[in-house]
């Protein structure tokens, strides 16, 4: 099970990096989503996968009786999901706005901040 999931994560990582290397913002956005999911999966696997019970304690006890699965990676993944989702929402709006204002989603053509024909600084006066 761990092995299969590891391979799945590796595939997700490679898709994410492939997409992130694209020049087009829309593909990079997809890359960011897939990357965050790949990361979440790898944190999840790092908590060790077992088929034992969920981390629930019976109501009349204060400690679990049988071995339970580790709840902490799930808490970490939950935090990471929230953060990744909010960042993705921000990036989506930003990219859309940049597309509207700059009329391009090709990062090579986004040269407003770094104009090509700036030339040398003045060499004397």
Applying CB under 8 A, the residues found at the interface with another protein are 20, 25, 28, 32, 35-36, 39, 42-43, 45-48, 60-63, 72-73, 76, 79-80, 83, 86-87, 90-91, 94-95, 97-98, 101-102, 107, 110-114, 118-122, 125
In angstroms, what is the minimal distance from the CB of 39 to another protein? Answer: 5
Among residues 51, 44, 46, 43, which one has the least CA distance to residue 67?
Answer: 51
CB of 4 to another protein, least distance (A): 17
Q: How far is the CB of 8 from another protein (least distance, A)?
A: 15
Backbone angles phi, psi at 68, to 5 degrees: -120, 165
DSSP tag of 110: -
Query: What one-character DSSP code corresponds to residue 62?
Result: S
Give the nearer residue to another protein in terms of CB position, either 14 or 86.
86
Alpha-carbon gap, residue 68 to 53, rounded angstroms: 5
Q: Which is nearer to another protein, 3 or 61 (CB)?
A: 61
Nearer to another protein, 53 or 109 (CB): 109
Tokens 């999931």 — which residue?
A: 5
CA–CA gap between residue 64 and residue 57 (Å, rounded)? 5
CB of 96 to another protein, least distance (A): 10
- Beta partners for residue 24, in sequence order: 106
């Amino acid at each position: 099970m761990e092995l299969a999931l590891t391979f799945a994560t590796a595939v997700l990582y490679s898709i994410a990096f492939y997409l992130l290397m694209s020049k087009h913002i829309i593909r990079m956005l997809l890359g960011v989503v897939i990357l965050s999911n790949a990361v979440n999966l790898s944190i999840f696997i790092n908590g060790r996968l077992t088929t034992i019970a969920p981390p629930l304690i019976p109501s009349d006890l204060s400690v679990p009786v049988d071995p339970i699965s580790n709840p902490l990676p799930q808490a970490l993944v939950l935090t990471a999901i929230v953060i990744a989702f909010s960042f993705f929402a921000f990036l989506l709006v930003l990219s859309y706005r940049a597309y509207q204002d700059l009329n391009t989603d090709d990062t090579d053509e986004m040269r407003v901040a770094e104009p090509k024909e700036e030339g040398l600084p003045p060499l004397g006066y």
